[in-house]
Chain A
């Protein structure tokens, strides 16, 4: 609600510009903010998951079960569940009201990533595994965990061909996957069949991200190019008519930079990427024209994971060497006229024109009486709440992680 009182120019900013804070809670490798932008989960190099309250920038919870670095983290849409994978070959599902994982799976080898399906959260997930078929898992029933493997289709070279990463379409019926041979496939989540396949290039897919609106997909390949595609109408068109149309290619032609991690903003109009190697910046592109609009600077080290917090309009990134979390945001200037209601801030001089009744002397009582009479007809609605804020996001109370104040002191030590 505060946004409607702030400087509209600052509120209308589409992307953050200023590095305003650095957080250091252990050596972070990975970060993810919750859908409602209240919390930030940070996975550390020794397997802890630190939950940071973004109102206070303080730790409110540490989830301990993994024994090696966390390599993927996902929030459920409701904000109550967290899905984590780690280099200890485990996938855990956490309920944030408790401190122990409520579901856990251990594999025979390393895991790349786990994703929540938009349907039946938090019990339907997708897991991609190192040099093995990836899996759809339903673990609603603890004692009857159902797994269905998916292998790569649509390519002649089937040996050593694996799915590395995947992302669900918002409908929950389709999964976009990327393989180590440069294929982008669309898989039906209903029967696991491959509906669409296209070879884009011959190098690894590093990440696939989908805009929340479901219009765009961006694929980060290890050939140093991020390709942005328009998603075909999956629901109404037949799979044989689907085309993945390249909208833009993002690359640094001069320095030939590799991109570490990519993220969209809420409506998919901006794309950010962190850079590999000696460049310590985050690039922001505008996605309709494909132009570079901003380079975020300020860190003194290579940045690995990036995350866009939509509601707060902030970008977070993790430093490779120090494990610090860097935070960029929009700085709203103090309106000095807010402190003195009789003053107005003006851009330039205005010539004074006296209003007709400006210096009329009206007896105080008369004035007060007049004001009171005016009040009679004013309709007031004290109950109806706004449902969206000034940036267009819905405002509603969401899941709050309960605090345990009795033993919160020195949580991190």
Chain B
């Protein structure tokens, strides 16, 4: 018997005009950072009130990452830079210059000394934050990088690219350790998002054919596949997602830690919650009236969703 996931909407905010790109809780869960396509970043408190606006990027911001201690926020922008903001002074403390095209994704390591960024210039860069220096440039993809993530101990970087490949890199040496490709016949779909499982042994990857796949990378194989169905639970015809990079997250039920749920946004405003073990769709959450859900994040039992047109919602799961 598959149990549904209950949820309750606890916060519903409409963030001004213009397109939003990314929203993230800080690790503590007390602040939400939201980035906009006009290049600004807003810091909101738990009630959704604006604490501060961070201005500095000249073009749209695509991705945000909090450091583990919550003192810093990194932002990736189309102006080819990555900026690091202090959340104590709300000032930009570092600007990392080196990418030659739009930066699409950023990630702090757990120690807060390295930052990984992926760009449309097809390169991944590893930065020494303290000295604003690029330590390594990993050029192994042949299309824009859509997402990067780090294993929990920070030693492996995983990257997703529109060239259809998922690659793993050694953080220290910058060597490519492994390449994963889903062989779906003639075409390999662009990979739009990738993340490590909490223990770093599996990779959850979204591709633009509308599937989310869980990979066992040691074994080079897909162990679970989750499909997005347009009509919701029970409907079999799968849909093409194809346009937006909707991200995913894991939700671990505190009452039942054996139950792990994969949460994913979709192109048409719904959020999917699948049970990992059975691959069944447990709930379908309508977080927007048809605008793509660009970001989902689970933090301390709360689910944060952000649509492209600025609908930012928080659900208690």
Which of A's residues lie within 8 Å of B, judged by CB?
1-6, 38, 53, 55-56, 58-60, 332, 334-335, 338-341, 364, 368, 371-372, 375-376, 378-386, 395, 397, 400, 402-403, 405-406, 408-409
Contacts and interface: CB of A to CB of B under 8 A. Distances in A.
25 contacts: A1-B152, A1-B200, A3-B155, A53-B128, A55-B113, A55-B128, A56-B114, A56-B128, A56-B135, A58-B130, A334-B176, A338-B179, A339-B167, A339-B179, A341-B220, A371-B225, A375-B224, A375-B225, A375-B279, A381-B199, A385-B199, A386-B199, A405-B84, A405-B130, A408-B130
Contacts of A376: 279
A380 B224 contact: yes
A56 B177 contact: no
Interface of B: 69, 71-72, 84, 86, 89, 91, 93-94, 109-114, 128-133, 135, 140, 151-156, 167-168, 170-173, 175-181, 184-185, 197-202, 214, 216, 218, 220, 222-225, 250, 252, 257, 260, 276-277, 279
B299 to A, nearest CB: 17
A5 B173 CA distance: 13
A43 B185 CA distance: 60
B156 A5 contact: yes
A-side binding surface: helix, strand, loop or mixed? Answer: loop
A264 B299 CA distance: 44
Contacts of B152: 1, 385
B172 A55 contact: yes
A403 B179 contact: no
B89 A338 contact: no
A402 B260 contact: no
Interface-centre pick from A53, A341, A397 (highest chain B CB count, 10 A): A341
Contact of A381 (B177, B201, B250): B201
A60 B113 contact: yes
B178 A405 contact: no
Contacts of A386: 199, 201
B111 A382 contact: no
A54 to B, nearest CB: 9
B215 to A, nearest CB: 10
B130 A403 contact: yes
A339 B276 contact: no
A40 to B, nearest CB: 13
B111 A6 contact: no
Contacts of B170: 2, 5-6, 332
B129 to A, nearest CB: 6
Nearest to A334: B175
A403 B172 contact: no
Interface-centre pick from B111, B151, B252 (highest chain A CB count, 10 A): B111
A341 B181 contact: yes
Given A56-B113, A382-B198, A406 B131 contact: no
Given A2-B170, A5-B178, A403-B113, A53 B276 contact: no
Given A341-B220, A397-B153, A400-B111, 16 more contacts: A1-B151, A1-B153, A2-B151, A6-B177, A53-B113, A56-B113, A60-B113, A338-B178, A340-B179, A379-B277, A380-B214, A397-B110, A400-B113, A402-B71, A403-B113, A405-B130
Contacts of B156: 1-2, 5
A380 B199 CA distance: 11
B89 A406 contact: yes
A375 B171 CA distance: 31
Contacts of A409: 132
Given A334-B176, A403-B129, A368 B223 contact: no
Given A334-B175, A338-B177, A382 B202 contact: yes
A113 B134 CA distance: 39
Contacts of B223: 375, 378, 380
A53 B202 contact: no
Contacts of B202: 380, 382
Given A1-B155, A380-B224, A400-B112, A368 B197 contact: no
Contact of B111 (A55, A368, A379): A55
B20 to A, nearest CB: 26
Given A2-B156, A5-B156, A383-B199, A375 B222 contact: yes
Contacts of B276: 380, 382
